[in-house]
Structure 1
Amino acid sequence: MTSAIPQKSKPLPEGIYCPVISIYKSTPRQEIDLDASYNFFSYLIRAGIDGLVLAGTTAEAVLLSPAERQDLLRVARKAADDLGLKEYPLVAGISGQSTNETIRLAHEAQNAGADYGLLLPPNYWAGAVNKDVILGFYREVADNSGIPIVIYSFPAVCNGIDMNSDILSELAQHPNIVGVKLTCGNAGKVTRLTQEYTSSQFAVHAGSSDWLLPCLIGGGAGCVTGIANIFPKSVTRLNDLWNDVRMNINESRKLQGLIAQAEKACKQGIACTKYGTDFFLGRKIGINDEQAFWPRRPYKPCTKETQDWVVGVMEHLVEIEHSLQMKYV
């Protein structure tokens, strides 16, 4: 039965969100390259990406300083504003290990231009994180945040903490909790939550594009996907096919399979995602320094063998990507 709760005052828009990579200068300290970031954000927006996620897992958020997080948000907001998209949605990672720290991060993100906050559960002492702790944490942050909260379910980076659909459903009833990103890959959560809530009440997004079509078929609102850093037009095309009432289901299935094949490289880690962005898109957006796409140390870029594998599993999308038009010019 559909919930009777009112729609949220600021629902999370449906569509494709890109958790953007961080681009660095090739200096000993690997400072953030804000000019290159502006060009990259502008390209993704013009390509039709529906929203950007800043300071998320793919952005190496745990390796970014608070000032860098805020600078990237301001640059993303300027990129959208300069394209005339004053209401373009920006989602900021605000995950902290304490309630106090998380509320501070939410306030800083709001001041820097974020519209929503993406929030993992506390997980440092996983054995102490039970249902009551999770519910209390999200509710208190939501009570004290000036921006709506999007729950981030990603057990692989949270010491195995996995929020089931019952917990998510309870949190969905909070007026300032507007959706969830399911990087847990559990399609059952999609269908259970969408049976209860509309997207304007609580939006359910897949955490990667290799199950975008199953998520949409199950009533989901879209996805947040690393492959959008590399092939943004292809992923948005798949979403558009689904949204078209005259869609060609066979074309959708074919494109879903191609995107899923490319996405598996992103699942091997951030270094692969960044190398793919460099190889297929870097020169196109004017970034000619391959080190700009290296992970922040101490983490290492891909080996030559891995680079060749990444290109091999992604290159089948190049022709499709190049055939599609930019959404904004």
Structure 2
Amino acid sequence: MTSTIANKARPMPPGIYVPVVSLYKATKRQEVDYDASYKLFSHLIRGGLDGLVLAGTNAEAVLLSSEERKELVKIARKAAVDIGRPNFPIVAGISGQSTNESIRLAEDALSAGADFGLLLPPNYWAKAVTKDALLGFYRDVADETTLPIVIYSFPAMCNGVDMNSDILSELAKHPNIVGVKLTCGNAGKVTRLTQEYKHEQFAVYAGSSDWLLPCLIGGGGGCVTGIANVFPKSVSRLYALWNESKIKESQELQGLVAQAEKACKEGIAPTKYAVGYFAGSAAGIVDPKTFWPRKPYLPVDGVKAAWVEKVMQSLVQIEQSLPDAV
């Protein structure tokens, strides 16, 4: 490590985080189903994951109201407390198109009980998002809230707005910017940033679990992965195998996880179908419509559903063989 900056006051713990899907009632307005959400949060915590991420991409954040976002954080905290994990890490999406909106969302998340805020870059007018605009945006939000900020790098969802490792390194020096989620899939950013910063100074996470091992080998702290909604125990086991230095076993499981995660790469609807099909009953949620996307977006058709079931079969027995962590 080359940086001499101080450790962050509240570093983000390493491990496997799940961007939890949002669940809705089977009504015309598709109100958020908070009872089902509580059950899913509880199921995921028991599955051995290291943190929940709410109001992220998998949660259809742009389709959620500010009140729904706050209530989901409160429900997640209640689930953690009820299970006996009151300090379980909860990360809340706080992405807004303006600095002011993002600060407001950060304040809401903090008041509802979140531990960290996950923040995309502004991207509506992509050509106006210069390096100086990016640096100013993140620094201004981080200055105005005590909620520790995690940068969210996802160019495919942000009109191509990308942040190279030099920009991320500049932002890492801010005392309230604690890490980055790299859904850009750029392993080079991992190795450059971890060469400069140790985890407590600036944490680096893969944005999916199909390259969890490459991220860990490069010095990263874990991943934030949608497939953990479906197979939380399997992804947690992969991380544990690496930490136990069981390299061959971890490589074998990494391959199976990567094959299954192909389905999540196809979008929110296939991911939510997989959660309902493979994990719904275990979580105590029986109505498949609870896992439909929010309108105007549509659930998967029969052909896509069959493909999802086939692609993810490789992890079913593994998931069923593993015990609850709590």
Same fold (TM over 0.5): yes
Letter in 1 for 2:43: Y
In the alignment, what sits opposite 2:280? 282
- Local SS of the residue matching 2:239: helix
Equivalent pairs counted in the alignment come to 326
In the alignment, what sits opposite 2:189? 189
Letter in 2 for 1:284: A
For the residues of structure 2 that align with 1:243 and 1:250, how far apart are their CA atoms? 12
**Shift in Å at residue 288 of structure 1?**
1.3
For the residues of structure 2 that align with 1:92 and 1:206, how far apart are their CA atoms? 17
Letter in 2 for 1:285: A
For the residues of structure 1 that align with 2:243 and 2:188, how far apart are their CA atoms? 21
Q: Sequence identity, in percent?
A: 69
Q: Deviations over 1:153-205 (max 9, x none)?
A: 00011000110000000000000000000000000000000000011000000
In the alignment, what sits opposite 2:110? 110
- Local SS of the residue matching 1:117: strand
Q: Deviations over 1:9-56 (max 9, x none)?
A: 000100000000001110111111111110110010011110000000
- Local SS of the residue matching 1:62: helix
In the alignment, what sits opposite 1:291? 289
Q: How does 1:162-201 map to 2 (within 5 A)?
A: 162-201=162-201
Question: Which of 249, 252, 256 matches 2:250?
Answer: 252
- Local SS of the residue matching 1:170: helix
In the alignment, what sits opposite 1:219? 219
Letter in 2 for 1:256: Q
In the alignment, what sits opposite 1:241? 241
Q: Are 1:47 and 2:55 an aligned pair?
A: no
For the residues of structure 1 that align with 2:7 and 2:61, how far apart are their CA atoms? 31
Letter in 2 for 1:3: S
Q: How does 1:1-329 map to 2 (within 5 A)?
A: 1-244=1-244, 247-328=245-326
For the residues of structure 2 that align with 1:116 and 1:286, how far apart are their CA atoms? 28
- Local SS of the residue matching 2:281: helix
**Shift in Å at residue 248 of structure 1?**
2.1
Letter in 2 for 1:312: K
For the residues of structure 2 that align with 1:315 and 1:276, how far apart are their CA atoms? 11
**Shift in Å at residue 146 of structure 1?**
1.8
**Shift in Å at residue 283 of structure 1?**
1.6
For the residues of structure 2 that align with 1:156 and 1:286, how far apart are their CA atoms? 34
For the residues of structure 1 that align with 2:192 and 2:108, how far apart are their CA atoms? 34
**Shift in Å at residue 242 of structure 1?**
0.8
For the residues of structure 1 that align with 2:85 and 2:40, how far apart are their CA atoms? 16
- Local SS of the residue matching 2:262: helix
Q: Deviations over 1:43-72 (max 9, x none)?
A: 100111100000000000000011110110
**Shift in Å at residue 80 of structure 1?**
0.4
Task: Give the TM-score taking structure 2 as reference length.
Answer: 0.99
For the residues of structure 2 that align with 1:166 and 1:185, how far apart are their CA atoms? 16
Letter in 2 for 1:215: C
Q: Deviations over 1:204-242 (max 9, x none)?
A: 000000000000000000000000000000000010011
For the residues of structure 1 that align with 2:70 and 2:246, how far apart are their CA atoms? 42
For the 8 Å contact 2:8–2:200, the answer to whether it is kept is yes
Letter in 1 for 2:265: K
CA-based RMSD of the aligned residues comes to 0.6
- Local SS of the residue matching 1:267: helix
Letter in 1 for 2:261: E
Letter in 2 for 1:142: A
- Local SS of the residue matching 2:152: strand
Q: Deviations over 1:66-94 (max 9, x none)?
A: 11101100000000011121211100000
For the residues of structure 2 that align with 1:307 and 1:186, how far apart are their CA atoms? 30
**Structure 1: segments with no counterpart, 5+ residues:** none
**Shift in Å at residue 109 of structure 1?**
0.5
